[in-house]
Amino acid sequence: MELLAIFQAINLFLRFLLELCALAVYGYWGFKTGNTGITKGILGIGTPLVIAIIWGLFGSPKATIPLSAPLHLLLEIFVFLIPVVLLFLLGTVGSAWIFGCIVILNRILMYFWDQ
């Protein structure tokens, strides 16, 4: 296997991990934001569930309803960069910077490698 193909496979695996991390951030935000146990549960479980459904339908590589490139980019911004804002708001600034930089680097590589 060629070295570039290995790096491309690693980048795709990283993208999958970033999807999982984004969902975890949405859940973390929901549990920290809710005022009562019920709202914490609804936000903490419901938000990542809704995001996962939207991503699966419209944004994933095997999306049921593929979007045009500009709309897909907007969905990616929503799914991957809003967690950066949420991490900042929750006071985990270091995590926000790390996650945001990795997301941007991953997206740049995906663009150049046409993934």
Query: How do residues 30-63 score in pLDDT, each as one tens digit?
Result: 999 989 999 999 999 999 999 999 999 999 989 9
Is the model's pLDDT at 111 over the cut of 80? yes
Residue 60: name the closest of 38, 75, 50, 70 by CA: 75
What is the pLDDT, as a whole number, of residue 22? 98
CA distance 90 to 15: 23
What is the pLDDT, as a whole number, of residue 100? 97
Specify burial of residue 34 (Cβ count, 10 A radius: 0-12, 13-18, 19+): middle
Q: Which residues contact 95 (CB under 8 A, 6 or more apart)?
A: 87
Token duo for residue 94: 């270091």
Query: How do residues 71-88 score in pLDDT, each as one tens digit?
Result: 999 999 999 999 999 999
Is the model's pLDDT at 1 over the cut of 80? no
